[in-house]
Structure 1
Amino acid sequence: MPDLHWTIPVARWSFWPAAASAAPDLGFIEPLTRRRLSTLSRAALKVAHDCGAHLPAVRLVFASRHGELRRTTDILHTIDAGKTVSPTSFSLSVLNTMTGILGIVRGDRTAASALSAGNESLGYALLEAYAQYATDPSSPVLIVFADEPADATYGPVEAEVEGGALAILLDASAQTGRLACTRAALSDHADPSRMPFASQSAAVQHCLEARTSSEWQGTTSTWQWCWHEGA
């Protein structure tokens, strides 16, 4: 794959850490639906609401390495125990669970997509959002990335994700800055020990929070992000 460079207009962003002491406020979702949500979907919906609640409609790009794997694992344990699987649990176990719930809650039928690309899922979500925004800059695009480590049942996971959720709203009409993104083939002389971030989400969050540059290295590529103030 050739090296890629692109820049997105950032209007808002929000982060919810997995280690947060309080549960995310989901008062915008009716109680019956709220009780059924997983920890992952709760965090994802929280940051999505923070960034997109003021918009009547928004295109959505959701990304996660594992998605609702914990719920799927519970379903498998239920089947293994010879018990009946709850239809609700099954319907909420798919990768795009969060996009469906958000669309229903908002009454928003705008296009939504969900992707998973291993530990590079956030990087490719940023690329997908850029492609959608470049096609139609008049309509905002909301990126939501949410993940949590896989259940211990699966054993050690190489380059495991960190928990938490991150949302970024692309909207040039209300942008506060620009996020420059680069994906380049891994150099033969790359030194993994100098990478300070264990995951892409940690690197991107640092870039947005500190308004600086950050870098993350995978097995085949290096990803870089750089913040630029203003339009």
Structure 2
Amino acid sequence: MPDPHWTIPVARWSSWPAATTAAPDIGFIEPIVRRRLSTLSKAALKVAHDCVGADEARVVFASRHGELRRTTEILRAISSGEPVSPTAFSLSVLNAMTGVFGIARGDRSAASAISAGPETLGYALLEAYAQHATQLASPVLLVYADEPADPAYGTIDDEVQGGAIALLLSNETALGHLVCTQSASPRLHDSEPAATRFATQSQALLHCLETGEPAAWQGAGVLWQWEWHDRAA
């Protein structure tokens, strides 16, 4: 059986590094809401807004841990007998960012959320492709945002790097195409690897988008690879 592969038309993309000390500019969100958002949601909203602006788009949000840090704080409050804020509870769900984003823009387009362990970003790219393929005239916004889990959870295999990445899928204004491939891990033994391998999927994808060079990530029994092709003139 051939390795599954798919091609995504990328109209715009944006990223936000986890290591930066600057605050993401999310001035399009009302101050009363902005104050309550986590660092994770702020980064996700920033890159999402960079890509889609005021246009409507279906949203695929992806995160391995989501708002786990907020949830952890809620659990600590409960164990200490302290009251839990209803706002904190409502913003603790995995896809909290999609609700805030849709309300702020008055966009009622469909939104979905993906979480698939260390392969979350790869499967989110597949979901975004599938949604776009069903309605080619309707753009799809993929937003990936994550941060390492609280130390209370101990060592986590293939832990995330953190940060946020967004891609707008649209045939109308595509800058280029991202080719995604998932293959069996024995391909790792090829004498000439097809791409530089990275510790996380987000690092690999960002390298591919920034440099145009192939990049890959190896998981348990699978190799994910990404290649960038500029739009033909």
TM-score range, shorter chain: over 0.9
Give, in whole Å, the separation in 2 of the partners of 1:154 and 1:227. Answer: 36
Q: Output the TM-score relative to the length of structure 1.
A: 0.95
SS of the residue aligned with 2:29?
Answer: coil
Q: How does 1:149-188 map to 2 (within 5 A)?
A: 149-187=148-186
Q: CA RMSD in A?
A: 1.5
* C-alpha contact 2:197 2:218 (8 A) present in aligned 1: no
**Is 1:143 matched with 2:142?**
yes
Alpha carbons of 1:205 and 1:109: their partners in 2 closer, same or farther (altered >3 Å)? same
Q: How does 1:94-133 map to 2 (within 5 A)?
A: 94-133=93-132
Q: Output the TM-score relative to the length of structure 2.
A: 0.94
Which residue in 1 is equivalent to 2:18?
18
* C-alpha contact 2:54 2:105 (8 A) present in aligned 1: no
SS of the residue aligned with 1:11?
Answer: strand
Give, in whole Å, the separation in 1 of the partners of 2:230 and 2:213. Answer: 10
Give, in whole Å, the separation in 2 of the partners of 1:82 and 1:189. Answer: 51
Which residue in 1 is equivalent to 2:5?
5
Which residue in 1 is equivalent to 2:35?
35
Which AA in structure 1 matches 2:118? N
Alpha carbons of 1:169 and 1:189: their partners in 2 closer, same or farther (altered >3 Å)? closer
Alpha carbons of 1:29 and 1:190: their partners in 2 closer, same or farther (altered >3 Å)? same
Which AA in structure 2 matches 1:12? R
Which AA in structure 2 matches 1:52? V
Runs of 4+ in 1 over 4 A off after TM superposition: 188-191
Per-residue deviation, residues 101-147 of structure 1 (Å, max 9, x unmatched): 10100100000000100010000000000000000010000000000
* C-alpha contact 1:215 1:224 (8 A) present in aligned 2: yes
Structure 1: state its 5+ residue gaps: none
Displacement of 1:77 in angstroms is: 0.3
SS of the residue aligned with 1:40?
Answer: helix
Displacement of 1:186 in angstroms is: 1.7
Structure 2: state its 5+ residue gaps: none
Displacement of 1:20 in angstroms is: 1.1
Which residue in 1 is equivalent to 2:200?
199
**Is 1:47 matched with 2:47?**
yes
* C-alpha contact 1:2 1:185 (8 A) present in aligned 2: no
Alpha carbons of 1:223 and 1:189: their partners in 2 closer, same or farther (altered >3 Å)? closer
Give, in whole Å, the separation in 2 of the partners of 1:190 and 1:70. Answer: 38
SS of the residue aligned with 1:224?
Answer: strand
* C-alpha contact 1:11 1:170 (8 A) present in aligned 2: yes
Q: Decide which moves more: 65-74 or 195-204.
A: 195-204
Alpha carbons of 1:211 and 1:99: their partners in 2 closer, same or farther (altered >3 Å)? same
Count of aligned pairs between the two proteins: 228
Percent of pairs identical after alignment? 64
Q: Decide which moves more: 109-118 or 1-10.
A: 1-10
Give, in whole Å, the separation in 1 of the partners of 2:199 and 2:189. Answer: 16
* C-alpha contact 1:47 1:165 (8 A) present in aligned 2: yes
Alpha carbons of 1:131 and 1:25: their partners in 2 closer, same or farther (altered >3 Å)? same
Which residue in 2 is equivalent to 1:58?
57
SS of the residue aligned with 1:124?
Answer: helix
Displacement of 1:2 in angstroms is: 6.5
Displacement of 1:184 in angstroms is: 1.0
